[in-house]
Structure 1
């Protein structure tokens, strides 16, 4: 502990200008770090609630059964099923059926375009949760470092004044208070990381279901084309 004590006992006037200014900043209370973490936590909770509601409202129920109907060519049933529905799956079916007269290749392009347009709506604010989950522990650690610096500075002052038995109690109290920032940082980061992973998993599931609906529609259209060509050829043969 001798190096720390000697550093703490150093007069600020003996330090360089920049070192003196930085030491003066670090010796302030680290409570502002806790307030920053609390604000970030409130924002993350609000985003979690908003994303939960958004994912729940923009999801098409029974998409597996609807994919089967599309594969069978029951397009009217699919149109009725998506009436008043919003979200990636409903948008893909709606726009794909609207362009069905232009052929399967065009429908494939429409599906890819719609998917690229709808996906960012689900990804909104997820980057915030991911960033917070990765960096909140470091913010808490920063608060802890500030608290430890202040604790050793107080220890140096007490040692210079011959504080005696109160010295250890002062250091332990300061360090335990400083470690609260690390604990709060972890408490903020863990839910954010869990929510980020959950929402990303839900988005992957929705994307897979939307692609399945698109594949079912395109497959049905391509299956109908050879049948119509065969029927046309048969009529031409009978006419001859």
Structure 2
């Protein structure tokens, strides 16, 4: 392997680490914004939900973009669609209680997947970046040793420079991996906490729905506000 190809391999490893670093910090910023936004919106909706005068009044709340709001909207929609089903197909063969729990569980899984999006990339970068750096270092050392051989000298002045440059790739690989690993662990912890909150809210939702007989009054009227407006306009 000649010196030119070895140099290209080292430079390619460094460029790849640079791409890894850009992707890592982009994901960190995106996931941080997503987590903060979801947390704020969920707290806001939860406060409005528990401030509602009744379970039926809570059905009129706008879910917005909060995970808790989407879970609640799924629950209310499930109860509404249970009234529309004729019980002749598999979709409506469940009891209202089981049907509600099933759809809430599915929505929680959807929210979890949404929050986990991008974390696999962080985990992959955190685990592979040091090896990419080491890969570049190995070929850098090979190139350095080849240069030393051609110089016909093994003094410290000749060896230190090329070997030191080759070790830079390992240092860059570690520098790229550390933020990725720390960010991954941090966001995984946030996902687990958010999932626990969604599970707790879903349990409370099912309890409230059971007290309401697994029915939501006024949901159909809320779904067709334009018809009432048109009739009033022509009255």
- Asked if these proteins are the same fold (TM beyond 0.5), I'd say yes
> Please, which runs of 5 or more residues in structure 2 have no aligned partner?
83-95, 214-235
Report the counterpart of residue 193 of structure 1 in structure 2: 181
Superposition map of 1:60-139 within 5 A: 60-61=42-43, 74-77=55-58, 79-80=60-61, 83-100=62-79, 102=82, 103-139=96-132
For residue 215 of structure 1, give the secondary structure of its aligned residue in structure 2: helix
> How far 1:221 sits from its partner (Å)?
2.8
> How far 1:58 sits from its partner (Å)?
2.6
Superposition map of 1:109-188 within 5 A: 109-159=102-152, 163=153, 167-188=155-176
Residue by residue, what CA displacement relative to the aligned partner does 1:159-204 show, whole Å, maximum 9, x if unpaired?
A: 2xxx47xx32121111111111111101100001111111111111
For residue 86 of structure 1, give the secondary structure of its aligned residue in structure 2: coil
> How far 1:31 sits from its partner (Å)?
2.7
CA RMSD of aligned residues (A): 2.7
For residue 99 of structure 1, give the secondary structure of its aligned residue in structure 2: helix
Change (3 A) 1:109 1:154: same
Distance 1:86 1:63 in 2: 10
Residue by residue, what CA displacement relative to the aligned partner does 1:100-131 show, whole Å, maximum 9, x if unpaired?
A: 35432211011012122232222221111000
> How far 1:78 sits from its partner (Å)?
6.1
Does the aligned pair in 2 maintain the 1:58–1:88 contact within 8 Å? yes
> How far 1:79 sits from its partner (Å)?
4.0
| 1:217 equivalenced with 2:200 (yes/no) | no
Residue by residue, what CA displacement relative to the aligned partner does 1:37-72 show, whole Å, maximum 9, x if unpaired?
A: 1121011111111111122223301576567669x9
Change (3 A) 1:222 1:141: same
Does the aligned pair in 1 maintain the 2:148–2:158 contact within 8 Å? yes
> How far 1:36 sits from its partner (Å)?
1.5
> How far 1:146 sits from its partner (Å)?
1.1
Structure of greater Rg? 1
> How far 1:74 sits from its partner (Å)?
3.5
